[in-house]
């Protein structure tokens, strides 16, 4: 008898490079079922790349990526599309269709992936919008929404098909404090109410630590620390401490690798200097 895994996503020794630039150098992580997990790291460390591996947009050069027990990069097109129906995605900046109304943005995945009648789709769309407090905005166009409202519509669209896994790519970026707090609370509330698993990729430490159960830290293409949120907040690990407390000095260097400044200045104007 098959036992349901305690992890929805399991990544083992995953490596990936963009050309000669190696981004992931052997990632190992397991996203616990039913929890809100945060993946934290500096900008450009590979957080969004991880999402693309989980969704099957990219294939690891080495290692494996499993979602609900299935090796994502071994699935054919049909099986991959079926797996993606179990995933909800909230993109950076919302990613709404600019030429569709709020209502039609939510109705789109329902019409694309189900055979539900229009009457039922209408009810479901309004229910999803009500969950994020925007039922009254269903006739508006994306250009008529504030930044915070746009993210809330994107969140409603992410749960349109009742996924088992929801991924949030930088959900707090560019938001004012009120909108940021609203989105954070919605992520936590919807995760618990729907019984789903959520992954939040962000560099906003303070907000993510308020709502997450488990935290993963990426540095140098690898997971350098992980554990329950409270343990990470109290951790003595140099990288974790620097990241959590926003310290200027620590393992994350201020300067990008370069030679002595005297040499750079002396060679100024020379090609490649």
- What residues make up the domain containing 127? 98-162
pTM, rounded to two decimals: 0.83
- Cβ atoms of 101 and 114 within 8 Å: the answer is no
Task: Average the pLDDT over 101-124 and give the result.
Answer: 94
> Per-residue pLDDT for 245 more than 60?
yes
Our count of domains for the chain comes to 1
- Is 144 within the bounds of a domain? yes
Degrees to nearest 5, angle at CA 225 with 222 and 231: 165
- Is 203 within the bounds of a domain? no
* Plot region of 269 (φ>0 → left; ψ -120 to 50 → alpha; else → beta): left
- Is 56 within the bounds of a domain? no
> Per-residue pLDDT for 251 more than 60?
yes
How does residue 250 score in pLDDT terms, banded at 50, 70 and 90? low
- Is 146 within the bounds of a domain? yes
- Is 141 within the bounds of a domain? yes
pLDDT at 3: 44
| Alpha helices in the chain, H assignment, sequence order | 47-54, 77-84, 102-113, 118-131, 147-158, 177-194, 205-211, 229-233, 238-244, 261-266
> Per-residue pLDDT for 2 more than 60?
no
Higher per-residue confidence, 218 vs 273? 218
- Is 113 within the bounds of a domain? yes
- Is 145 within the bounds of a domain? yes
| pLDDT 10s digits, 134-144 | 999 999 999 99
| pLDDT 10s digits, 25-44 | 999 999 999 999 999 877 77
- Is 110 within the bounds of a domain? yes
């Amino acid at each position: 008898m098959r036992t349901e895994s305690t992890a929805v996503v399991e990544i083992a020794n995953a490596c990936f490079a963009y050309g000669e630039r190696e981004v992931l150098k052997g990632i190992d992580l397991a996203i616990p079922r039913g929890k809100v997990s945060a993946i934290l790291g500096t900008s450009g460390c590979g957080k969004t790349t991880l999402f693309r591996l989980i969704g099957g947009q990219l294939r690891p050069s080495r290692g494996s990526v499993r979602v609900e027990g299935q090796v994502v990069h071994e699935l054919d097109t049909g099986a991959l599309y079926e797996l993606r129906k179990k995933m909800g995605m909230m993109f950076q900046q919302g990613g709404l269709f600019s030429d569709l109304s709020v209502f039609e943005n939510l109705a789109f995945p329902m019409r694309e992936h189900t055979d539900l009648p229009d009457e039922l789709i209408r009810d479901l769309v309004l229910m999803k919008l009500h969950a994020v407090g925007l039922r009254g905005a269903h006739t508006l166009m994306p250009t008529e929404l504030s930044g915070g409202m746009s993210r809330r519509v994107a969140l409603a669209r992410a749960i349109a098909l009742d996924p088992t896994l929801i991924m949030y790519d930088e959900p707090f970026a560019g938001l004012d404090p009120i909108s940021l707090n609203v989105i954070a609370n919605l992520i936590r509330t919807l995760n618990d109410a729907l019984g789903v698993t959520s992954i939040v990729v962000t560099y906003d430490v303070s907000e993510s630590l308020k709502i997450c159960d488990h935290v993963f830290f990426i540095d140098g293409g690898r997971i350098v620390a992980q554990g329950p949120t409270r343990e990470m907040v109290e951790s003595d690990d140099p990288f974790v401490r620097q990241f959590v407390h926003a310290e200027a000095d620590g393992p994350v260097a201020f300067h990008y690798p370069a030679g002595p400044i005297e040499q750079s200045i002396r060679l100024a104007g020379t090609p490649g200097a």
